[in-house]
A and B are shown apart, each in its own frame.
Chain A
Amino acid sequence: MANTFDLNRRTFLRGTGAALALPFMESLSHAKAAAELPRRMAFVYFPFGVALPKDDAPGGEWNWFPKAGKTEKDFQFRSVLKSLEPLRDEVTVMSGLSHPRCRSLGGHDTGDTWLTGHRLAAPTYSNTVSVDQLAAQHLGPSTRFPALVLSSDGGVGEPTRSTTISFSRTGRPVPALASPKQIFAKLFGQTTDDQQARQRLNNTQSLLDLVLANSKNVRGKLGARDQAKLDEYLDSVRDIEKRVEQSQKWLEIPKPRVEEKTLDLSATPKGPEEYIRVMYDLMYLAFQTDTTRLATYMIGQVAGATTIANSFPTAAGQQANWHGLAHGAGKKPEALGKFDQFLAAQLARFLTRLKDTREGDGTLLDRTMVLYGSSNSRTHNNTNYPLLLAGGRGLGLQHGQFQQYDAKTPFANVFVTMFDRMRLPVDRFADSTGGLDALVG
């Protein structure tokens, strides 16, 4: 199996594509039958943290975390997460975790680090690879798209206020898609002319070779800052080279047919409920069709008043100022709590859809780990992230618990556990110290 993918791209496609394509397709379908079903991960991020009133304070029931019981299993959801009650056995809520290296960053600066755990230190504020992108590298060409990267704002934003939570192997932000139509077209749009597509891939390959050959000459004539800019371009070229190789193989396999009608692709962030729902729906469909096994969705970035998601709280009848609600949550937890309750209901809907879909002997949710949370506890505080891990019971996760960790435990340990359940050879990530045994049955 592995050898198929090592086929030199040029020898592979030198002849007429169709004739050579067959062995590849055969080997792929063979692999699917023999190997086990897919293992997946999704990461959903929201900014600004949550309300954390004390139990006896006014509005105490709007504390995001559940009320702990005598044992981990014996907890009670409070108002915010109550829509997860029917999914109680599919989720674990975790408190106390954070990225130790990121605690001293500005409160608005940690969105970029949620999936990387990297201290954005002066002078460059460069980042490192995010969990999903690292997993994508390991999974390689097993799906048409290595990972799906979504956000409500789209694009990359600016460093420390990125509009994406995914970062490439070189620590550069991966632009997120925001338009449901565009996402659908990318995942399921039908291309007709394979012959032309194949020629184009070969041509692109030739151009990339040319550009890389030329760049050695050019680079030497540039100053350091310009070199850094050119390197950004050249890294992109190298990444595309790899993708071209993958795409050449995937060309031989038709995209899954998905009925556009089942989705509200015209939704925009102006209607937050419809919009968030269709973003979850697209992730669901991407998983269901095995178009990708990794997805990230940044519901909102951490830049405050200038972002699209800042007005989302209107969906829960609150003022159009998420950032402001979070700032006021110390004195008035209910307003933010009601919005977080709305967000939790959207998550519950997504999880339920995954759970209602059969796959093998279990459900789609059984083989999909969904990590949901923020990088602030209350506003601007970079400790005690509100976190919830769902699904993946078929991969060995254990649920129905509220785990309270102390500040010594790095959040990255959750990632190590997830990598382990993905069966990927990553036993260290950022400042991790090991896996979290309580999550694994």
Chain B
Amino acid sequence: MNRWISILVLSALASWARADEAFAKDIRPILQKYCYGCHGAEKQKGKLRLDTLDLNFDRGQSAERWHDALDQLNQGDMPPEDEPQLTAVEQAALTGWLTHRLKAAAEARRSTGGQGVMRRLTRYEYANTLRDLLGVKLDFAKDLPPEPASPDGFKNNGLALGMSAEQLEYYLAISRTALGKVIVEGDAPTVVKARVEKSSPIRRVKGVTGNTVVPGAQYLAKFDEFPREGTFRLRVHASAKVPKGAGLPRMRITIGVRADVQAPQETLVVADVKPGAQVLEFTGRIEDFPLPGHNPKYPGLLARITNEYDDGSGFIKRKPKKPKKGEKAPPPDPDLANQPVIEINAVEFEGPLFDAWPPVNHVALIGKPGEGNEESRAMTAIKRFMTRAYRRPVTSKESGAMFDLYRVIRKRSDSFEAAMRETLALVLATPDFLYLVEPTAGQRRALNDHELAARLSYFLWSTMPDATLIELAEAGELRAPQTLAAQVDRMLADPRSAEFVQHFTDQWLNLSGINRVAVNPQFHPKFNDALKVDMRRETQLFFAEILRTDASALQFLDADFAMLNRDLAQHYGLPQTDWPAGVAFERVALKGNGRRGGLLTQGGILLANSDGEQSHPIRRAVWLLDRVLGTPPAPPPPDVPELDGNSPELRNLSIRQQMEVHREKAACASCHRGIDPWGIAFEEYDAVGRWRENWRTNPKAKPQPIDALAKLADGTELTGMAGLKQHLLAHEKERFAAALTRKLLAYALGRSLEFSDAAAVSALTQHFEKGDYQLRALITGIVQSEDFLTK
């Protein structure tokens, strides 16, 4: 049996007989020796009597009293100072037992009986759905409150997704804005077309500005006329000059107002520019960018083009030298000659863009003007829209009620279009749209085909089902196992599956942690924060590549390729001949020294589990145990200070030695023996994920050699990352497969797994292992499983 299952058996289902046995053998003697004297039959100090306190942690007040006892023990408040004290071993046994039992009881209380609950769409699901329902690409989720992750790390957990008046107000505001974009009135707007060739002269702009853009310099295009609503297109006529050995220049285009300070600007795109003349074309929604106010102090919309090429020499961070007295121009930076340069010939702006007037999306929602009378148009449009928004057929009673609402609204509105905007916006605030409802009166039942289509599309696309899924549901064919398998293939091949890759990878591996670590420039002077974005992307694309090529998921543990762009390849110290040309990611074969390969050596993972200065073996170990092996260690007890590397006792010790000192303290040893060695194996990688042979306690200290020899709790010795990977592949495959299966199943179902899911997980894990660890097989297995097909 898999290890996590056995742990679960012990914690969640422990038969009382067995638990009592352990209690009688190990715990009661300790309580008798130290506690019953004051909290027993004779005395009940603090009105607490432990010898008769209920051992059933699931109900009543006893759990709270035990919890209280645990706190007192942990804080060292009990036993009182003048009484005999527990030995470290006794202390660990007693607190360990209490912690374990309390945790199991808490899990039991959270149980939903292995059933999902009516689940609200997450922030990103809501935004994607609105985009697909209305055909408008706008950042809809911007104003919604951020969402919490469940204890297992997922944001689509139905129990954790709450609702409040504020949230509902935001939904109303957003859907109104959105419908305002789709349903238009009046004549077609004037299209603004403008072309700028020479970089616009703007006063008080700092830095080098012109048509030739070296790293750190900029080109500015100012457009006096611009639309305030709608899609726009920006065409950049450019070429690149690339010195031998350099990469392609990295172009960032930002749109916004004012150029004289770090002014409001949002990024439109980051892209490579290749040698030779080319026209690069980008589109965006103008409302997503900061615009000048009406009657502004700084009029005009600015497109700013910068060159963010970073050769790792620190060139991009250097400020241009100021001319010395008597010099007219500053001496050129010697590194300048080696930098790739963007040459801008012209920038063209056009917007708002529309396919027809009224636009196709408008017609799709409410039809063309003059097609029948208002009421019949409204009736048809409302029913059609509700069917799509609710992801199911609607009854005539439902659409009739909404039509009655329309009639009330129509009387208050100036036009048919305005009334339709309001009505449809309000449809988007009903629970049928905001939640995946799947009504059942408690008992388990099979999902109907429409519910299944929705579950499937929110699992693999994070958005509403498309026409094909709906058709299959209408025909009642979707639930056939072969159909489901074929749909999984189709959906994974669709670009929308990038949503699954992104959100699952982020949440499974906790990649948002990358943004929570601030890299200290004194320790890592050449680290460019733009790398954080690349690192997150690398791990997502790595997952996508394994999924796409049907490669074994064991490659997550070690792989002979990586998904890299130039900056990352350079950061990782790959041979220059292997570096991709620019910002675009490529599949790079890893040859030679085995320093890279698999999730464990990816910068995002290493950085997110560091402190921005030093590597953090404990965080890395906890991440490995939790996210990859599925057995998170218990959180540290209260009142335990973090290791302070600067204390005199530890200052000159290596991390490994510091941790040994730490483990010598008996209170820490019991847990850290099982944690630390896993992290020691990561020691060949510094805080920002670079390979190293030496490390320093601070930037000025002498380098000391890395010691990455780790001894696991069971006595196994392994050296460094190579040793760790070998060990995982040789001995922990099943544990990893079960962990990944659990994570994927929890994400697919939108709920935490429980003991009642153990059999399903076990079957799916076997299926996964037999299918050569192919993700596609696992996903198909999940989709065809009883759990996925029922509520």
Interface of A with B (CB < 8 Å)? 103-107, 121-123, 153-158, 161, 163, 168, 172-176, 178, 182, 199-200, 202-204, 206-207, 210-211, 214-215, 218, 221-226, 228-230, 232-233, 235-237, 239-240, 243, 266, 270, 305-306, 308, 310-311, 314, 319-321, 324, 327-328, 330-332, 378-381
Which of B150, B164, B176, B619 counts the most A-chain CB atoms under 10 A from its CB? B164
Question: B668 at the A/B interface (Cβ < 8 Å)?
Answer: no
- Known A175-B167, A236-B163; judge A155-B145 contact (CB<8 A): yes
A224 surroundings in chain B (CB, below 8 A): 442
Question: B332 at the A/B interface (Cβ < 8 Å)?
Answer: no
B71 surroundings in chain A (CB, below 8 A): 104, 106-107, 380
Query: Which one, B405, B443, B611, B640, contacts A206 given CB within 8 A?
Result: B405
Compute how far the CA of A404 lies from the CA of B112 in the bound complex, rounded to whole angstroms. 46
Q: In the complex, which residue of chain A has the Cβ closest to the Cβ of B71? A: A104
Binds A, one of B247-255, B308-316, B406-414, B446-454: B406-414
Question: B422 at the A/B interface (Cβ < 8 Å)?
Answer: yes
A229 surroundings in chain B (CB, below 8 A): 117-120, 158, 163, 435
A381 surroundings in chain B (CB, below 8 A): 75, 638-639
Compute how far the CA of A327 lies from the CA of B644 in the bound complex, rounded to whole angstroms. 11
- Known A104-B71, A221-B439, A314-B518; judge A154-B146 contact (CB<8 A): yes
Contact B638 A240 (CB under 8 A): no
A233 surroundings in chain B (CB, below 8 A): 163, 168, 431, 434-435
Question: B143 at the A/B interface (Cβ < 8 Å)?
Answer: yes
Interface of B with A (CB < 8 Å)? 63-65, 67-68, 71, 75, 105-106, 109, 112, 115, 117-120, 143, 145-151, 158, 160, 162-169, 172, 176, 264, 398, 401-402, 405, 408-409, 412-413, 422, 426, 429-431, 434-435, 437, 439-443, 513, 516, 518, 611-612, 619, 638-642, 644
Q: Taking the nearest CB of chain A, how far is it from the CB of B467, in angstroms?
A: 27
Additional 17 contacts, C-beta under 8 A, given A174-B164, A218-B431, A236-B168 = A123-B109, A154-B146, A157-B148, A172-B164, A175-B145, A175-B164, A178-B146, A199-B413, A222-B439, A223-B442, A225-B118, A237-B165, A305-B619, A306-B513, A327-B641, A379-B638, A380-B639
Compute how far the CA of A191 lies from the CA of B163 in the bound complex, rounded to whole angstroms. 26
Compute how far the CA of A330 lies from the CA of B641 in the bound complex, rounded to whole angstroms. 8
Query: Which one, B119, B405, B412, B611, contacts A321 given CB within 8 A?
Result: B611
Contact A328 B148 (CB under 8 A): no
Contacts across chains A and B counted by CB atoms under 8 Å:
177
Q: What would be 5 A-B contacts, judged by CB atoms less than 8 Å apart?
A: A104-B71, A173-B162, A200-B176, A203-B412, A379-B639
Which of A103, A215, A226 counts the most B-chain CB atoms under 10 A from its CB? A226
Contact A122 B150 (CB under 8 A): no
Compute how far the CA of A308 lies from the CA of B516 in the bound complex, rounded to whole angstroms. 7
Q: Taking the nearest CB of chain B, how far is it from the CB of A314, in angstroms?
A: 7
Contact B169 A240 (CB under 8 A): yes
A199 surroundings in chain B (CB, below 8 A): 412-413, 422
A154 surroundings in chain B (CB, below 8 A): 145-146
Query: Which one, A218, A226, A378, contacts B440 given CB within 8 A?
Result: A226
Contact A211 B640 (CB under 8 A): no
Q: In the complex, which residue of chain A has the Cβ closest to the Cβ of B413? A: A199
Give the 8 A-B CB pairs with smallest separation, nearest first: A380-B638, A239-B165, A223-B442, A328-B641, A155-B145, A324-B642, A104-B68, A175-B145
- Known A104-B68, A203-B422, A240-B169; judge A225-B145 contact (CB<8 A): no
Compute how far the CA of A228 lies from the CA of B442 in the bound complex, rounded to whole angstroms. 12
B513 surroundings in chain A (CB, below 8 A): 306
A106 surroundings in chain B (CB, below 8 A): 67, 71
Compute how far the CA of A228 lies from the CA of B638 in the bound complex, rounded to whole angstroms. 34
Contact A211 B431 (CB under 8 A): yes
B67 surroundings in chain A (CB, below 8 A): 104-106
Q: In the complex, which residue of chain B has the Cβ closest to the Cβ of A179? A: B143
Q: Taking the nearest CB of chain B, how far is it from the CB of A183, in angstroms?
A: 12
- Known A123-B109, A200-B176, A311-B518; judge A331-B641 contact (CB<8 A): yes
A327 surroundings in chain B (CB, below 8 A): 639-642
Contact B162 A174 (CB under 8 A): no
Compute how far the CA of A200 lies from the CA of B168 in the bound complex, rounded to whole angstroms. 15
Q: In the complex, which residue of chain B has the Cβ closest to the Cβ of A168? A: B164
B443 surroundings in chain A (CB, below 8 A): 223
Contact A107 B164 (CB under 8 A): no
Contact B169 A155 (CB under 8 A): no
Contact A203 B148 (CB under 8 A): no
Compute how far the CA of A203 lies from the CA of B431 in the bound complex, rounded to whole angstroms. 17
Query: Which one, B117, B172, B408, B612, contacts A225 given CB within 8 A?
Result: B117
Contact B430 A174 (CB under 8 A): no
Which of B163, B412, B612 counts the most A-chain CB atoms under 10 A from its CB? B163
Contact A175 B166 (CB under 8 A): yes
A214 surroundings in chain B (CB, below 8 A): 398, 401
A210 surroundings in chain B (CB, below 8 A): 401-402, 405
- Known A203-B409, A211-B431, A226-B440; judge A232-B162 contact (CB<8 A): yes
B644 surroundings in chain A (CB, below 8 A): 328, 332
Q: In the complex, which residue of chain B has the Cβ closest to the Cβ of A266? A: B264
Q: In the complex, which residue of chain B has the Cβ closest to the Cβ of A239? A: B165
Query: Which one, A157, A236, A331, contacts B167 given CB within 8 A?
Result: A236
Contact B642 A158 (CB under 8 A): no
Compute how far the CA of A163 lies from the CA of B176 in the bound complex, rounded to whole angstroms. 28
B149 surroundings in chain A (CB, below 8 A): 158
Q: In the complex, which residue of chain A has the Cβ closest to the Cβ of B645? A: A319
Compute how far the CA of A105 lies from the CA of B70 in the bound complex, rounded to whole angstroms. 11
Compute how far the CA of A122 lies from the CA of B243 in the bound complex, rounded to whole angstroms. 67
Q: In the complex, which residue of chain B has the Cβ closest to the Cβ of A222? A: B439
A156 surroundings in chain B (CB, below 8 A): 145, 148, 162, 164
Q: Taking the nearest CB of chain B, how far is it from the CB of A104, in angstroms?
A: 4
B165 surroundings in chain A (CB, below 8 A): 168, 235-237, 239-240, 243
Q: Taking the nearest CB of chain B, how far is it from the CB of A126, in angstroms?
A: 12
A203 surroundings in chain B (CB, below 8 A): 408-409, 412, 422, 426
Compute how far the CA of A378 lies from the CA of B75 in the bound complex, rounded to whole angstroms. 11
B146 surroundings in chain A (CB, below 8 A): 153-155, 178
A176 surroundings in chain B (CB, below 8 A): 145
Query: Which one, B109, B118, B639, contacts A230 given CB within 8 A?
Result: B118
- Known A156-B148, A210-B401, A232-B163; judge A237-B68 contact (CB<8 A): no
Q: In the complex, which residue of chain A has the Cβ closest to the Cβ of B431? A: A233
Compute how far the CA of A175 lies from the CA of B619 in the bound complex, rounded to whole angstroms. 30
Query: Which one, B68, B119, B429, contacts A207 given CB within 8 A?
Result: B429
Compute how far the CA of A229 lies from the CA of B430 in the bound complex, rounded to whole angstroms. 13
Q: Taking the nearest CB of chain A, how far is it from the CB of B453, in angstroms?
A: 20
Contact A226 B516 (CB under 8 A): no
A215 surroundings in chain B (CB, below 8 A): 431
Q: Taking the nearest CB of chain B, how far is it from the CB of A269, in angstroms?
A: 10
Query: Which one, A178, A240, A305, A328, contacts B168 given CB within 8 A?
Result: A240
Q: In the complex, which residue of chain A has the Cβ closest to the Cβ of B264? A: A266
A105 surroundings in chain B (CB, below 8 A): 67
Contact B164 A173 (CB under 8 A): yes
Which of B65, B109, B115, B439 counts the most A-chain CB atoms under 10 A from its CB? B439
Q: Taking the nearest CB of chain A, how far is it from the CB of B81, in angstroms?
A: 15
Contact A223 B642 (CB under 8 A): no
Contact A225 B112 (CB under 8 A): yes
Q: Taking the nearest CB of chain B, how far is it from the CB of A316, in angstroms?
A: 15
Compute how far the CA of A203 lies from the CA of B418 in the bound complex, rounded to whole angstroms. 12
Query: Which one, B68, B147, B441, contacts A155 given CB within 8 A?
Result: B147
B65 surroundings in chain A (CB, below 8 A): 104
B641 surroundings in chain A (CB, below 8 A): 324, 327-328, 330-332
Q: In the complex, which residue of chain B has the Cβ closest to the Cβ of A213? A: B401
Q: Taking the nearest CB of chain B, how far is it from the CB of A398, in angstroms?
A: 35
B118 surroundings in chain A (CB, below 8 A): 222, 225-226, 229-230
Compute how far the CA of A190 lies from the CA of B443 in the bound complex, rounded to whole angstroms. 51
Contact A330 B639 (CB under 8 A): yes
Contact A306 B431 (CB under 8 A): no
Q: In the complex, which residue of chain A has the Cβ closest to the Cβ of B641? A: A328
A270 surroundings in chain B (CB, below 8 A): 518
Compute how far the CA of A228 lies from the CA of B430 in the bound complex, rounded to whole angstroms. 16
